Structure 1
Amino acid sequence: MQTGYYAATAGMVAQFNRMDTIASNLANANTTGFKRDQLIVGDFARLYKEAQNNLPLANNTTDAAQYLNHALARVPQIADAYTDQSLGTIQKTDNTFDVSLSKEGQFFAVNTPQGIRLTRDGSFTLNDEGKLVNKQGYEVLSSDYFKTKTGIKLNQQDSTVTIDKNGQLSTNIPGTTQMVPGKTIMVVEPQNLRMLTKEGGNLYVPTPSDPLTPLTQSGSVIQGSVEKSNVNAVNEMVSLIEANRLVGMYQKAMDTQMNDMNNDAIQKIAGKN
């Protein structure tokens, strides 16, 4: 078995996956609220130690020893993937319905045809019905949604709208400067961020086992601003160059294995005959 060839092939595939992830990060460098993805590269030896009880052969047998001798090479593989939930830069916009979150791990909730989804993109606006919606037109949920099943709706007469640090909206009484408190934007903090699944459109699917409990005192909502992505374009470009060079190195290793070493072996075998 040409373990060197297969190890180089697996390494090349791992780098291709890295390049796809980096390309996605770079494509969303200017996407509001986007969080970069990261891959963890492991090897077969370490993965074997973590999952040896699930292998098709029992330990301490002749067949298992033969299996390990043939398969236990230090072959690079994608061992895990995760989303970096660190904060992006808060950018001031002065738009009334632009809001950002200044704390990690907190999300806004929106109602989609597929169910409730979470997002860090607080670029909200009012639709024709006066409802607060996100860029895709999905209704932004209020903190009492699970009780009232209603969202956040404003009147055309509401000329002044303020949003405090906990997400509560206040509107002025028509013709006066007196402010009246209204509904509060739902802000949730999932218990396990690793269980969130990216769905596209800058949305996350919450896990059913993690109850979405609205925070009454989030203290993180900033009106008139949005959170930029946490992608560092320079670092991503460096990683992309590194992955591309590794692909070239693996390709040379594969060529050496298949051409030089195999030809040398064939000539030696032919010389003996």
Structure 2
Amino acid sequence: MEKILRVMKAEIIKQQQYDYHSYFVWCSLLIWPVLGFLEVYYTYKPFAFTGYLGIHDSGDLLAFLGTGYMAYTCFWSMVQNAWSMSLQEREDGTLEITFLTPASRMAMNYGKALGALIQEVWMFGCFCLFVLFYTHTLTLENLWALPLFLCLLLFSSMIWGGMLNAIFLYSRDASMIMDVFDAPMILFAGTRIPVQCFPVWAKVISLLFPLTYCLNIIRFILGIQGGGAEIMPDLAGLVICLGVMAGVTAWLIRRVEKHNRETGELQFY
């Protein structure tokens, strides 16, 4: 376990030194997500609130979008990181490290994911927490749930990011895969539109994303309408979803390494 943690720590430090070395980068990590959040908020605000799914006023809307965008930013950073890593690893000639090092492949994958996650979301996460306190959604009475939310998002995003890194690192055309994973996630996972509004076929698609379950759990605990009616189905669904993704990650890494040993080719897809 100590070796696995050391590998993950090394990957986190590498990510920080490679990508987050400029004040312009740090500013963009806050400005662009906030602009996206405000764009959706002011798009919905002019319409009359009818109490649909518990959204009665601008405060309810802010809380709904705040939780949605806070969670989405965690998962979105994993998609973006996997896409950028697929390019950087090839250009810098470090893709071979994945095969040549004796370190755990899974630990390296999850270290890459955590490195980007921690650096990219903490500033916007603070903004979303301010929104939740401002709307009195997060109070002293339910402040105990904040560490739970953070652990839930960090762990789920790490598993999601590990799978994406395994896919993107060995893909010839990562840009197309980025579109496949990102756009459907923001639409179907309930970040800005309640899942209850979708037809049956769209609800089925939403079950494929762990972000859907995370949002339902967070909104259920905070009492924000639009989440699930019960928490246990979402907990079970999240555990199954993360287990499947971890299995896919391990299977893909083994298959690609076997392919590399037989052909010497680092690109699998």
Which interval holds the TM-score relative to the shorter structure?
under 0.3
TM-score by length of 2: 0.23
Q: Which has the higher strand share?
A: 1
Q: Which has the larger radius of gyration?
A: 1
Q: Which has the higher helix share?
A: 2
